[in-house]
Structure 1
Amino acid sequence: MNKFAVAGATGRLGRHVVDVLTERGHEVVPMSRATGVDVITGEGLAEALTGVEVIIDVASWHASEEGAAAEFFRTAARNLHEAGRQAGARRIVAASIIGTDKATTGFVAAQQVHEKAVFSGPLPARVVRAAQFHEFVGQLLDWQQGDVAYVPSLPTQLVAARTVAEELVDQATDDEPWSGPIPEIAGPRTEIMAEAARLLGARRNIEVVGIDNVPDGELAASGAFLPGPHAKLAGPTFREWLDAQP
């Protein structure tokens, strides 16, 4: 049994990471502001990392503005690396987004800063790039707060957050030397974001209108944010996932 710390433990992805680690018999230290740990100010960080062997970083910024997101990721990665080094941690594993290396703007582009910060710190590091979560579709509808929602009609390979958590834990518990392309995890098939949103919208009595004029829309339409040939494809389709929700 190893001791893991999870940054962003109460978030959409983090709670699944905590569950997977717990189910596999590991000791878990959940880190979030709700547990008294702030990865930006450093409050509670040293204490939380005492005796921790591996840090899994799934802490995320709450908005899409690129500059603020980049600064959040840069600061969080630096603090986790430094506190982890002082605590004697062996590794840090962080979540990123498929296509971040091609993105030119917004939250996805900010992940370029995140990855650079994760790889440039003192601890050995791994990054897992994930497709957009199934849960992100509901977030798109929630943001618009109306009877009509405008959602990109662009290809994606939606994946369940639980599936991403399982891959992160697999990487975090793999002691073999890492090399090669950055691992990617995505759902079993390509889907259109607006069509997935219509499935959910029908349950919420929300009309979904597909749009093409979005940031990096041409890149997305060309498949820039779809998984590469080395990606692991796993988990349910969006419809299967949706049908399983309470």
Structure 2
Amino acid sequence: MDIAIAGGTGVIGSHVVRVAQERGHAVRVLSRGAGVDVLAGVGLESALRGADAVIDVLSITTTDAKKAAEFFTRTTANLLAGQRQDGTGHHIALSIVGVDRAPYGYYAGKLAQEDAVTAGDVPWTILRATQFHDFAAQMHSRAAVGPLHLAVRMRTQPIDAGEVATRLVELAEHPAHGRARDIAGPREEELAEMMRAWARHHGHDGWMPRIGLPGAFGRAMRSGALLPQDDADLKGITFAEWLSAQPER
């Protein structure tokens, strides 16, 4: 197959590229470095020509619901328009488990993306996954007040990014079938403890007080609304197993 990957240079995208290549597929990465700006709709016509499927793993660093929704609806619209024009017949989008139960901030943008995909006329598949193991590292960087790092309370069931990448490529290898079965890691974790463990592993031994984020999204994080349901597919290694394989710094 010939698979176009939007966001192929990102955290999950790099895994998708690797997995697709390992499975013998031709890969084209839609990135500014390759002359493609999905947000502006530049370069998509030639980039999508002849592709069998598009995997969209684009992301944006924001917690602003309006900015996230604008980004995801515009990039999705541009990809779908390019696919209609070229006849690329399958659009696969990565979303987040529980996005409809906590439609706030970044999650509001992902929900808007899902709506744009399902409203389009390009055959589609949407895969919802839980947060990746390296979410602890991301939150350690973001949840800081000066030198003090905060341990954010959240019930989560993190998954190895490679497992999600493999599932996305598997979905691209088959016809579109709408909402795919959700995918999550093998067990529930507490994000605050993940963050503390990540910090210790990397030589950060300072005090990390536990906090709950304010507002509706913070309540959703603590309530378990973002955990997978009973019918989710549980895959891969635990957070502790993943962390032990990471180089110490």
Normalising by structure 2, report the TM-score. 0.92
Give 1:170's aligned residue.
170
Give 2:181's aligned residue.
183
Structure 1 Cα separation of the partners of residues 214 and 47 of structure 2: 40
Deviation at 1:163, TM superposition (A): 1.2
Give 2:12's aligned residue.
13
Deviation at 1:90, TM superposition (A): 1.1
Deviation at 1:112, TM superposition (A): 1.1
Deviation at 1:144, TM superposition (A): 4.3
Give 1:79's aligned residue.
78
Tell me: CA distance 1:17–1:148, structure 2 relative to 1, closer, same or farther (3 Å): same
Tell me: CA distance 1:129–1:66, structure 2 relative to 1, closer, same or farther (3 Å): same
Tell me: CA distance 1:200–1:226, structure 2 relative to 1, closer, same or farther (3 Å): same
Q: Which amino acid in structure 1 is aligned with residue 23 of structure 2? A: R
Q: Is the 8 A contact 1:77 1:118 kept in 2?
A: yes
Deviation above 3 Å: which 4+ runs of structure 1? 144-147
**SS at 1:213 equivalent:** coil
Matched, 1:209 2:218: no
**Greater CA deviation, 52-61 or 201-210?**
201-210
Q: Which amino acid in structure 2 is aligned with residue 240 of structure 1? A: E
Gaps of 5+ in 2: none
Q: Is the 8 A contact 2:71 2:109 kept in 1?
A: no
Q: Is the 8 A contact 2:143 2:151 kept in 1?
A: no
Q: Which amino acid in structure 2 is aligned with residue 20 of structure 1? A: V
Structure 2 Cα separation of the partners of residues 194 and 121 of structure 1: 39
Structure 2 Cα separation of the partners of residues 201 and 148 of structure 1: 12
Structure 2 Cα separation of the partners of residues 193 and 144 of structure 1: 12
Normalising by structure 1, report the TM-score. 0.93
Q: Is the 8 A contact 1:82 1:122 kept in 2?
A: no
Structure 2 Cα separation of the partners of residues 140 and 72 of structure 1: 22
Matched, 1:111 2:92: no
Deviation at 1:6, TM superposition (A): 0.2
Give 1:197's aligned residue.
195
Q: Which amino acid in structure 2 is aligned with residue 124 of structure 1? A: P
Give 1:161's aligned residue.
161
Q: Is the 8 A contact 2:158 2:185 kept in 1?
A: yes
Give 2:47's aligned residue.
48
Deviation at 1:209, TM superposition (A): 2.1
The number of aligned residues is 243
Give 2:224's aligned residue.
223
Q: Is the 8 A contact 2:99 2:110 kept in 1?
A: yes
Q: Which amino acid in structure 1 is aligned with residue 246 of structure 2? A: Q
Gaps of 5+ in 1: none
**SS at 2:208 equivalent:** strand
Deviation at 1:29, TM superposition (A): 0.3
Deviation at 1:236, TM superposition (A): 1.1
Give 1:61's aligned residue.
60
Output one character per residue of 1:79-111: Cα deviation in whole Å (capped at 9) or x when no partner: 000101111111000000111101142101221
Q: Is the 8 A contact 2:153 2:213 kept in 1?
A: no
Q: What does residue range 85-104 of structure 1 map to in structure 2 within 5 Å?
A: 85-104=84-103
Q: Is the 8 A contact 2:155 2:191 kept in 1?
A: yes
**SS at 1:226 equivalent:** coil
Q: Which amino acid in structure 1 is aligned with residue 91 of structure 2? A: I
Output one character per residue of 1:156-203: Cα deviation in whole Å (capped at 9) or x when no partner: 00111111111111111123x626x54211110000000001111112
Structure 1 Cα separation of the partners of residues 242 and 93 of structure 2: 24
